[in-house]
Amino acid sequence: MQAQVISSVNEASSVRFHHKTAIIVDVLRATSTIVTAIASGASCVIPAETVMEARALQREGDLLGGERFCKKIAGFDLGNSPEEYTEQVVGGKRIILTTTNGTRAIHKSMRADHILIASLLNAEACARSAIELRRDIVILCAGSHDEFAIEDGLCAGLVLDRLHDLSSFPIEMDDFGTAMLALYRNRAHQLKDTIQSGLGGKRLIKLGMKRDIEACSFVDIYTDAPRLNGDQLTRA
Ligand code: MLT
Protein backbone atom coordinates (compact mmCIF):
# COMPACT_ATOMS: atom_id res chain seq x y z
CA MET A 1 0.00 0.00 0.00
CA GLN A 2 1.35 3.43 -0.95
CA ALA A 3 0.96 6.51 1.23
CA GLN A 4 1.80 10.00 0.02
CA VAL A 5 1.62 13.27 1.94
CA ILE A 6 0.75 16.63 0.35
CA SER A 7 2.17 19.57 2.27
CA SER A 8 -0.59 22.15 1.75
CA VAL A 9 -3.86 22.66 -0.05
CA ASN A 10 -2.00 24.76 -2.60
CA GLU A 11 -0.08 21.64 -3.73
CA ALA A 12 -3.20 19.52 -4.16
CA SER A 13 -4.15 18.86 -7.80
CA SER A 14 -7.17 16.63 -8.36
CA VAL A 15 -5.19 14.02 -10.35
CA ARG A 16 -3.30 13.10 -7.18
CA PHE A 17 -6.53 11.76 -5.62
CA HIS A 18 -7.71 9.40 -8.40
CA HIS A 19 -8.46 5.87 -7.10
CA LYS A 20 -7.13 6.82 -3.65
CA THR A 21 -8.39 7.22 -0.11
CA ALA A 22 -7.82 10.86 0.86
CA ILE A 23 -7.16 11.69 4.49
CA ILE A 24 -7.70 15.38 5.23
CA VAL A 25 -5.79 17.02 8.09
CA ASP A 26 -6.28 20.51 9.53
CA VAL A 27 -5.33 20.15 13.19
CA LEU A 28 -5.82 23.89 13.94
CA ARG A 29 -8.73 23.62 13.83
CA ALA A 30 -11.16 22.43 11.16
CA THR A 31 -10.62 18.66 11.25
CA SER A 32 -10.31 18.64 15.07
CA THR A 33 -13.67 20.42 15.16
CA ILE A 34 -15.29 18.01 12.68
CA VAL A 35 -14.04 14.98 14.62
CA THR A 36 -15.28 16.49 17.89
CA ALA A 37 -18.69 17.35 16.40
CA ILE A 38 -19.21 13.79 15.15
CA ALA A 39 -17.96 12.30 18.44
CA SER A 40 -20.44 14.57 20.25
CA GLY A 41 -23.32 13.10 18.28
CA ALA A 42 -23.86 15.57 15.42
CA SER A 43 -25.79 13.67 12.76
CA CYS A 44 -23.41 14.98 10.09
CA VAL A 45 -21.08 17.82 9.16
CA ILE A 46 -21.54 19.33 5.70
CA PRO A 47 -18.38 21.09 4.52
CA ALA A 48 -19.11 24.29 2.54
CA GLU A 49 -16.47 26.25 0.66
CA THR A 50 -17.97 29.71 1.11
CA VAL A 51 -20.08 31.57 3.64
CA MET A 52 -22.77 32.08 1.00
CA GLU A 53 -22.85 28.36 0.18
CA ALA A 54 -23.10 27.51 3.89
CA ARG A 55 -26.09 29.81 4.33
CA ALA A 56 -27.76 28.36 1.21
CA LEU A 57 -27.35 24.79 2.52
CA GLN A 58 -28.94 25.55 5.90
CA ARG A 59 -32.31 23.90 6.59
CA GLU A 60 -34.50 24.35 9.61
CA GLY A 61 -32.80 22.96 12.72
CA ASP A 62 -29.27 22.98 11.19
CA LEU A 63 -26.41 24.82 12.88
CA LEU A 64 -24.00 27.04 10.96
CA GLY A 65 -20.37 26.84 12.09
CA GLY A 66 -16.98 28.06 10.99
CA GLU A 67 -14.53 30.90 10.86
CA ARG A 68 -12.91 33.58 8.79
CA PHE A 69 -9.65 35.07 10.09
CA CYS A 70 -10.01 32.49 12.94
CA LYS A 71 -13.14 34.25 14.24
CA LYS A 72 -16.78 33.19 14.27
CA ILE A 73 -18.67 34.41 11.19
CA ALA A 74 -21.34 37.05 11.81
CA GLY A 75 -24.77 35.45 12.21
CA PHE A 76 -23.36 31.90 12.57
CA ASP A 77 -24.28 29.71 15.55
CA LEU A 78 -20.78 28.38 16.21
CA GLY A 79 -17.16 29.28 15.54
CA ASN A 80 -14.33 26.82 14.90
CA SER A 81 -13.39 25.85 18.48
CA PRO A 82 -13.78 22.12 19.14
CA GLU A 83 -14.95 22.91 22.65
CA GLU A 84 -18.08 24.64 21.33
CA TYR A 85 -19.22 21.39 19.72
CA THR A 86 -20.57 19.67 22.83
CA GLU A 87 -23.21 16.94 22.89
CA GLN A 88 -25.69 19.40 24.35
CA VAL A 89 -25.22 21.83 21.47
CA VAL A 90 -24.71 19.57 18.44
CA GLY A 91 -26.34 16.23 19.44
CA GLY A 92 -28.61 15.04 16.61
CA LYS A 93 -27.99 18.18 14.53
CA ARG A 94 -26.67 18.72 11.02
CA ILE A 95 -23.75 21.16 11.08
CA ILE A 96 -22.90 23.22 8.00
CA LEU A 97 -19.24 24.16 8.39
CA THR A 98 -17.08 26.57 6.40
CA THR A 99 -13.44 27.32 7.29
CA THR A 100 -10.59 29.06 5.52
CA ASN A 101 -8.45 26.00 4.76
CA GLY A 102 -9.97 22.81 6.14
CA THR A 103 -13.24 22.71 4.25
CA ARG A 104 -11.41 23.95 1.15
CA ALA A 105 -9.04 20.98 1.44
CA ILE A 106 -12.00 18.59 1.60
CA HIS A 107 -13.43 20.07 -1.59
CA LYS A 108 -10.03 19.81 -3.31
CA SER A 109 -9.95 16.05 -2.72
CA MET A 110 -13.41 15.28 -4.16
CA ARG A 111 -11.92 13.08 -6.92
CA ALA A 112 -10.75 10.55 -4.34
CA ASP A 113 -12.64 7.23 -4.03
CA HIS A 114 -13.00 7.82 -0.28
CA ILE A 115 -12.46 10.86 1.97
CA LEU A 116 -11.65 10.51 5.68
CA ILE A 117 -11.12 13.22 8.28
CA ALA A 118 -8.10 13.00 10.58
CA SER A 119 -6.82 14.96 13.53
CA LEU A 120 -4.56 14.05 16.43
CA LEU A 121 -7.80 13.21 18.29
CA ASN A 122 -8.66 10.25 16.01
CA ALA A 123 -5.51 9.34 14.05
CA GLU A 124 -5.58 5.64 14.87
CA ALA A 125 -9.27 5.29 13.94
CA CYS A 126 -8.52 7.02 10.67
CA ALA A 127 -5.57 4.73 9.89
CA ARG A 128 -7.74 1.69 10.66
CA SER A 129 -10.54 2.89 8.35
CA ALA A 130 -8.05 3.70 5.57
CA ILE A 131 -6.59 0.18 5.74
CA GLU A 132 -10.09 -1.33 5.53
CA LEU A 133 -10.80 0.72 2.39
CA ARG A 134 -7.88 -1.01 0.60
CA ARG A 135 -6.78 1.86 -1.62
CA ASP A 136 -3.50 3.74 -1.81
CA ILE A 137 -3.59 6.70 0.54
CA VAL A 138 -2.97 10.39 0.08
CA ILE A 139 -2.81 12.53 3.22
CA LEU A 140 -3.61 16.17 2.50
CA CYS A 141 -2.24 18.63 5.07
CA ALA A 142 -4.47 21.70 4.72
CA GLY A 143 -1.82 24.11 6.00
CA SER A 144 -2.41 27.80 6.41
CA HIS A 145 -2.12 30.71 3.99
CA ASP A 146 -1.29 28.13 1.30
CA GLU A 147 1.78 26.99 3.22
CA PHE A 148 2.70 23.93 5.23
CA ALA A 149 1.70 23.98 8.93
CA ILE A 150 3.75 21.94 11.40
CA GLU A 151 0.72 20.66 13.36
CA ASP A 152 -0.66 19.09 10.17
CA GLY A 153 2.72 17.47 9.48
CA LEU A 154 2.75 16.01 13.01
CA CYS A 155 -0.70 14.55 12.43
CA ALA A 156 0.27 13.13 9.02
CA GLY A 157 3.27 11.48 10.74
CA LEU A 158 1.04 10.09 13.49
CA VAL A 159 -1.39 8.60 10.95
CA LEU A 160 1.59 7.02 9.13
CA ASP A 161 2.90 5.67 12.43
CA ARG A 162 -0.48 4.05 13.13
CA LEU A 163 -0.68 2.72 9.54
CA HIS A 164 2.68 1.00 10.04
CA ASP A 165 1.45 -0.52 13.32
CA LEU A 166 -1.90 -1.72 12.01
CA SER A 167 -1.32 -2.73 8.40
CA SER A 168 -0.49 -6.28 7.43
CA PHE A 169 0.93 -4.89 4.14
CA PRO A 170 4.12 -2.83 3.93
CA ILE A 171 3.42 0.92 3.70
CA GLU A 172 5.52 2.56 0.96
CA MET A 173 5.84 6.27 1.68
CA ASP A 174 6.98 9.18 -0.47
CA ASP A 175 9.89 11.27 0.82
CA PHE A 176 7.67 13.92 2.41
CA GLY A 177 5.77 11.16 4.22
CA THR A 178 9.08 9.71 5.49
CA ALA A 179 10.02 13.17 6.77
CA MET A 180 6.64 13.64 8.52
CA LEU A 181 6.89 10.23 10.18
CA ALA A 182 10.34 11.17 11.48
CA LEU A 183 9.02 14.56 12.66
CA TYR A 184 6.19 12.90 14.58
CA ARG A 185 8.43 10.26 16.17
CA ASN A 186 10.91 12.96 17.17
CA ARG A 187 8.22 15.16 18.75
CA ALA A 188 5.73 12.56 20.02
CA HIS A 189 6.30 13.60 23.64
CA GLN A 190 6.17 17.34 22.94
CA LEU A 191 3.23 17.61 20.57
CA LYS A 192 1.52 20.53 22.30
CA ASP A 193 4.77 22.50 22.70
CA THR A 194 5.65 21.93 19.05
CA ILE A 195 2.20 23.06 17.94
CA GLN A 196 2.37 26.16 20.14
CA SER A 197 5.70 27.12 18.62
CA GLY A 198 4.33 26.94 15.04
CA LEU A 199 2.87 29.93 13.22
CA GLY A 200 -0.74 28.69 13.48
CA GLY A 201 -0.33 28.01 17.19
CA LYS A 202 1.18 31.45 17.80
CA ARG A 203 -1.69 33.06 15.87
CA LEU A 204 -4.32 31.36 18.04
CA ILE A 205 -2.42 32.26 21.25
CA LYS A 206 -2.32 35.90 20.14
CA LEU A 207 -6.09 35.79 19.59
CA GLY A 208 -6.64 34.40 23.10
CA MET A 209 -7.47 30.87 21.88
CA LYS A 210 -4.73 28.88 23.61
CA ARG A 211 -7.33 26.48 25.02
CA ASP A 212 -8.11 25.38 21.47
CA ILE A 213 -4.53 24.22 21.01
CA GLU A 214 -4.90 22.06 24.10
CA ALA A 215 -8.23 20.70 22.87
CA CYS A 216 -6.64 19.79 19.52
CA SER A 217 -3.49 18.17 21.01
CA PHE A 218 -4.90 15.02 22.62
CA VAL A 219 -3.96 11.82 20.83
CA ASP A 220 -6.45 9.10 19.90
CA ILE A 221 -9.22 10.07 22.32
CA TYR A 222 -11.93 9.39 19.72
CA THR A 223 -12.63 6.18 17.86
CA ASP A 224 -14.52 7.55 14.84
CA ALA A 225 -13.06 8.52 11.49
CA PRO A 226 -15.64 10.79 9.84
CA ARG A 227 -16.12 9.84 6.19
CA LEU A 228 -17.70 11.73 3.31
CA ASN A 229 -20.96 10.22 2.01
CA GLY A 230 -22.38 12.43 -0.74
CA ASP A 231 -21.97 15.90 0.72
CA GLN A 232 -22.10 14.79 4.36
CA LEU A 233 -19.36 13.76 6.77
CA THR A 234 -20.72 11.04 9.03
CA ARG A 235 -19.42 8.29 11.28
CA ALA A 236 -17.46 5.85 9.08
C1 MLT B 1 -9.04 26.57 8.73
O2 MLT B 1 -9.76 25.67 8.29
O3 MLT B 1 -8.59 27.46 8.03
C4 MLT B 1 -8.69 26.62 10.16
O5 MLT B 1 -9.37 25.65 10.84
C6 MLT B 1 -8.71 28.02 10.73
C7 MLT B 1 -8.95 28.12 12.20
O8 MLT B 1 -8.08 27.81 13.00
O9 MLT B 1 -10.05 28.54 12.60
- pLDDT, tens digit, 9 for 90 and up, residues 3-12: 999 999 999 9
Helix (H) / strand (E) containing 217: helix 210-217
Closest alpha carbon to 119 in 223, 14, 232, 17: 223
Q: Which domain holds residue 193?
A: 2-234
Residue 201 Cα, ligand 1 centroid: separation in angstroms? 11
Average pLDDT of the residues in 157-164 = 98
Question: 115 in ligand 1 pocket by Cβ < 6 Å?
Answer: no
Mutate to test the pocket of ligand 1, among 32, 76, 83, 99 (most ligand atoms within 8 A of CB): 99
Residue 179 Cα, ligand 1 centroid: separation in angstroms? 24
Residue 30 Cα, ligand 1 centroid: separation in angstroms? 5
Task: Quote the CA–CA distance of 125 and 103 in Å, as a whole number.
Answer: 20
Atom index in ligand 1 nearest the CA of residue 144 equals: 3
CA 87, distance to chain mean position in Å, is 20
Residue 167 Cα, ligand 1 centroid: separation in angstroms? 31
Atom index in ligand 1 nearest the CA of residue 70 equals: 9
Question: 65 in ligand 1 pocket by Cβ < 6 Å?
Answer: no
Question: 70 in ligand 1 pocket by Cβ < 6 Å?
Answer: yes
Question: 30 in ligand 1 pocket by Cβ < 6 Å?
Answer: yes
Structural domain count, the chain: 1
Atom index in ligand 1 nearest the CA of residue 102 equals: 2
Average pLDDT of the residues in 113-118 = 98
Burial of residue 7, with CB atoms counted within 10 A of its CB: 0-12 exposed, 13-18 middle, 19 or more buried: buried
Please count the CA atoms within 13 angstroms of the CA of 44 that sit on its side-chain side. 14
Please count the CA atoms within 13 angstroms of the CA of 20 that sit on its side-chain side. 21
Task: Quote the CA–CA distance of 85 and 226 in Å, as a whole number.
Answer: 15
Residue 162 sits in a domain whose CATH number is 3.90.1560.10
Question: 67 in ligand 1 pocket by Cβ < 6 Å?
Answer: yes
Residue 125, pLDDT above cutoff 80: yes
Average pLDDT, the chain: 97
H helices, E strands: number in the chain: 10, 11
Task: 178-186: list long-range contacts, CB under 8 Å, 24+ apart.
Answer: 179/153, 180/5, 180/153, 180/154, 180/156, 181/157, 182/157, 183/150, 183/153, 183/154, 183/157, 184/153, 184/154, 184/155, 184/156, 184/157, 184/158, 184/160, 185/157, 185/161
SS (H, E, C) 163-213: HHHHCCCCCEECHHHHHHHHHHHHHHHHHHHHHHHCHHHHHHHHCCCHHHH
**pLDDT tens readout for residues 192-213:** 999 999 999 999 999 999 999 9
Question: 117 in ligand 1 pocket by Cβ < 6 Å?
Answer: no
Residue 236, pLDDT above cutoff 90: no
Q: What integer pLDDT is reported at residue 94 of this predicted model?
A: 98
Residue 70 Cα, ligand 1 centroid: separation in angstroms? 6
**pLDDT tens readout for residues 135-148:** 999 999 999 999 99
pTM of model > 0.75: yes
Atom index in ligand 1 nearest the CA of residue 104 equals: 2
> What are the residue ranges of helices labelled H in 18-174?
30-39, 51-57, 87-90, 102-108, 123-133, 150-166
